[in-house]
Amino acid sequence: MSVRGNPWSSRKSSSFLVNATLWAADRSRRWIELAGIDFAVFRVVLEQRVRMGTEAKFGGQPGAMTVGLGMILVGFALVMAGLGSGVAALVTRQPTLWMWIGQGAWIFMLTSLCVNYFANVLLDPSDIGVLASRPVGDRTIVGSRFAEVLLPTALLALCAASAPTVFGAFTLHPLGALVAFPLATLSSGLVVLAGMTLVVALALRVVGPVRFQRVMFWLQLAAAISIGAGPQLANRVIPMGTLTEAYSTHPWLAWVNPIEHHLALYALLGGDFESRTLTLAALVFVLPVALGGLAFALLRQDFIAALADRGELVRSARRGFRPSLFARVGSVVCRSKAARAVFGFTLALTRRERPYLRTVVPMAATTLVMAVVLTRPRASGTAAPMLVAGCLYYLAILPTFVYGVARVSEHAEARWWFDALPFSEPSAALEGGAKAILCGTLLPIAAFACVAASSCFESLAWRDGLLVFVALAALDCVSARFFMRKIPFSTAPSLQIHYRDLVTTFAILAVIGLLVFVHWLSTLHFAVWAAALALYAVAFALGWRALARLTPAP
Partner 1 sequence: MAGELAISMRGVRKRFGSKCVLDGIDLDVHAGEIVGYVGPNGSGKSTTIKLLLGILPDFEGEIRVAGFDPRHAALEIKRRVGYVAENAVLYESLTIAEFLLFVGRVHGLDDATIERRAVACLESLELEQRVSSRISELSKGMRQKVLLTAALLHRPQVLLFDEPLSGLDVHSQMLVKEVLRQFAQAGRAVLFSSHVMDVVERLCTRIAILDGGQLVAHGTFDELTRTLRGGSLEGIFAAITGDGDAQERATRIVRAIES
Residue numbers of the site for partner 1 (CB under 8 A)?
1-4, 7-8, 10-11, 40-41, 44-45, 48, 52, 55-57, 126-137, 208-210, 301-302, 304-305, 308, 492
Maximum CA extent, the chain: 79
Nearest approach in angstroms of CB 67 to partner 1 is 14
Q: Which of 61/92 has CB closer to partner 1?
A: 61
Q: Kindly tell me which of 146 and 212 has the beta carbon lying closer to partner 1.
A: 212
3-state SS, residue 145: helix
Q: How far is the CB of 10 from partner 1 (least distance, A)?
A: 7
The Cβ of residue 546 has, within 10 Å, a number of other Cβ atoms equal to 15
The answer to whether residues 331 and 416 touch, using CB atoms and an 8 Å cutoff, is: no
CA distance 174 to 168: 7
Q: Bridge-partner residues for 491, per DSSP?
A: 408
Nearer to partner 1, 217 or 303 (CB): 303
Q: Which is nearer to partner 1, 48 or 257 (CB)?
A: 48
CB of 24 to partner 1, least distance (A): 19
Q: Residue 507 Cβ, how far from partner 1 at the closest point, in Å?
A: 33
Task: Give the Å distances, CA to CA, from 147 to 18, 32, 292, 480.
Answer: 11, 10, 12, 38
**Is-contact 155 131, C-beta < 8 A?**
no
Contact 123, 43 (CB under 8 A): no
Contact 169, 177 (CB under 8 A): yes
Give the shortest CB-49-to-partner 1 separation in angstroms: 10
Q: Which is nearer to partner 1, 3 or 524 (CB)?
A: 3
Report how far residue 414's alpha carbon sits from residue 308's, in angstroms, rounded to the nearest whole number. 20
The residue (of 131 and 364) whose beta carbon lies closer to partner 1 is: 131
Q: Shortest gap between Cβ of 339 and partner 1 (angstroms)?
A: 25
CA dist 96 to 82, 264, 298, 483, Å?
A: 15, 10, 36, 46
Residue 129 Cβ vs partner 1, minimum distance, rounded to whole Å:
3
Q: In the bound complex, what is the minimum distance in angstroms from residue 144's beta carbon to partner 1?
A: 11
Q: Which is nearer to partner 1, 1 or 524 (CB)?
A: 1
- Give the shortest CB-46-to-partner 1 separation in angstroms: 12
User: Alpha-carbon distance 364 to 368, whole Å?
Assistant: 6
Class of residue 419 by CB neighbours under 10 A (exposed 0-12, middle 13-18, buried 19+): exposed
**Shorter beta-carbon distance to partner 1: residue 44 or 121:** 44
Q: Which is nearer to partner 1, 137 or 152 (CB)?
A: 137
At residue 335, the 3 state secondary structure works out as: coil
Q: Which is nearer to partner 1, 205 or 481 (CB)?
A: 205
Q: What distance in Å separates the CA atoms of residue 247 and residue 459, rounded to the nearest whole number?
A: 33
| Residue 124: closest CA among 355, 419, 400, 374 | 355
Distance in angstroms (rounded) separating the CA atoms of residues 68 and 66: 5
What is the distance between the alpha carbons of residues 437 and 348, in angstroms, rounded to a whole number?
A: 10
The CB-of-87 to partner 1 minimum distance in angstroms stands at 45
Q: How far is the CB of 434 from partner 1 (least distance, A)?
A: 28
CA separation for the pair 307, 303 (Å, rounded): 6
Strand partners, 408: 491
Q: Which is nearer to partner 1, 48 or 235 (CB)?
A: 48
CA distances from 330 to 312, 344, 478 (A): 24, 7, 19
DSSP code at position 252:
T
